[in-house]
Amino acid sequence: MNSVKKESQPPVCMTIAGLDPSGGAGIIADIKTFSAFGCFACAAITSVTFQNTIGVFGAVHQTADSVNKQTQAVFEDYDVTALKTGMLPTGEIIREVARLIKKFSPKHVVVDPVVRSTSGFDLIDDAALKILIEHLFPLADLITPNIPEAERITGIALRSHDDIVRATAEMQAMGARNVLIKGGHSADGEVKEKGNAAKKAKDHLFIGGDLTVFEADFIETTATHGTGCTLAAAIAANLALGHDLIVAVKISKDFVTEAIRTAPNLGKGHSPINISPSSRV
Ligand code: PXL
């Protein structure tokens, strides 16, 4: 037993997500991100994927029982301030995660509705996605779909500002309170305009019906592996640190932009981004 307790403890953040052994996405990205913000990082694995910067070649999923035992062990011991979920590949795992959230009520819950890898590998099937919508959307403080994810969830093609508003209303009708639509997949946040000199990456944050748009320079790069995981994990960390949602998203968006700007050139495909501030120049 540790008899000397520090006055101020770092907030504990937990991720329930998949393992990307090449370290770009999934729980490794989440852990690095929590640590970068001075939070204490914990993780439960939902799936061991086989992947690198080129693609995802397969996965072995965990059982609901395994996810339950990993998560329960942590929640029974630590006061987990923020929980972030990533790849939840099966309906039974999603139902279990919903049960765990209800049982332990972490202060902040960020649900990243991971659907497909950048390289096109399905990380969840349609039946499980339905369960995710039904069971996890109502428990989340924030959901963070990117444009392809929002399109798959709602069936609405996101080509204009109005489409984004409509799709968000749809996701809120499904039970999500607050929605961040990540615009990195389209050059101006809505429609991909070729030849646009000042491209912007626009994220749309809806807190209930109130919209805040975050703009950053769109960086032309293939080093994008792990951006979605990192953004959602950074938001969870900043909520755990006590920031309100708008400030947490702003800090996290700037963090990801900087991580893309200073990304190493690793691997033969989409390089991971730079989540370690100490190696930024
Ligand atoms: O970026 C989505 C994502 C999340 N989690 C894991 C992944 C990926 C994409 O490849 O592998 C484990």
Predicted confidence (pLDDT) per residue in 142-167, tens digit: 999 999 999 999 999 999 999 999 99
Q: Which residues contact 70 (CB under 8 A, 6 or more apart)?
A: 44, 45
**Residues annotated catalytic, as ranges:** 182, 224, 226-229
- Atom index in ligand 1 nearest the CA of residue 228 equals 1
Residue 3 has pLDDT above 70, yes or no: no
pLDDT tens, residue by residue, 210-220: 999 999 888 88
pLDDT tens, residue by residue, 16-62: 999 999 999 999 999 999 999 999 999 999 999 999 999 999 999 99
Query: To test ligand 1's pocket by mutation, which of 57, 118, 229 has the most ligand atoms within 8 angstroms of CB?
Result: 229
Q: Given this model, what pLDDT does residue 192 score?
A: 46
Mean model confidence pLDDT for the chain? 91
215-252 per-residue burial string, b: 16 or more CB within 10 A, e: under 16:
ebebeeeebbbbbbbbbbbbbbbbbbbebebeebbbbb
Residue 187 has pLDDT above 80, yes or no: no
Q: Given this model, what pLDDT does residue 193 score?
A: 46
Q: Given this model, what pLDDT does residue 221 score?
A: 85
Q: Given this model, what pLDDT does residue 186 score?
A: 63
Tokens of 43: 């993780």
CB 270 within 8 A of CB 224: yes
Higher per-residue pLDDT: 122 or 203: 203
Please choose, from the candidates 41, 136, 149, the residue with its C-alpha nearest in 3D space to the C-alpha of residue 85. Answer: 136
Q: Given this model, what pLDDT does residue 191 score?
A: 42
118-130 per-residue burial string, b: 16 or more CB within 10 A, e: under 16:
beeeebbeeebbe
Q: Given this model, what pLDDT does residue 19 score?
A: 97
- Atom index in ligand 1 nearest the CA of residue 19 equals 12
Can you tell me the distance from the alpha carbon of 94 to that of 80, in angstroms, rounded to the nearest whole number? 19
Helix axes 64-75, 91-104, angle to 10 degrees: 20
Query: To test ligand 1's pocket by mutation, which of 15, 16, 20, 88 has the most ligand atoms within 8 angstroms of CB?
Result: 20
Residue 197 has pLDDT above 60, yes or no: no
Q: Given this model, what pLDDT does residue 266 score?
A: 87
Can you tell me the distance from the alpha carbon of 158 to that of 179, in angstroms, rounded to the nearest whole number? 15
pTM for the structure as a whole: 0.93
* 49 CA from centroid of ligand 1 (Å): 8
Give the rounded percent of residues in the chain with a pLDDT score beyond 90: 73
Ligand 1 residue neighbourhood (C-beta within 6 Å): 17-18, 20, 25-26, 49, 51, 56, 86-87, 114, 117, 123, 228-229
Residue 189 has pLDDT above 60, yes or no: no
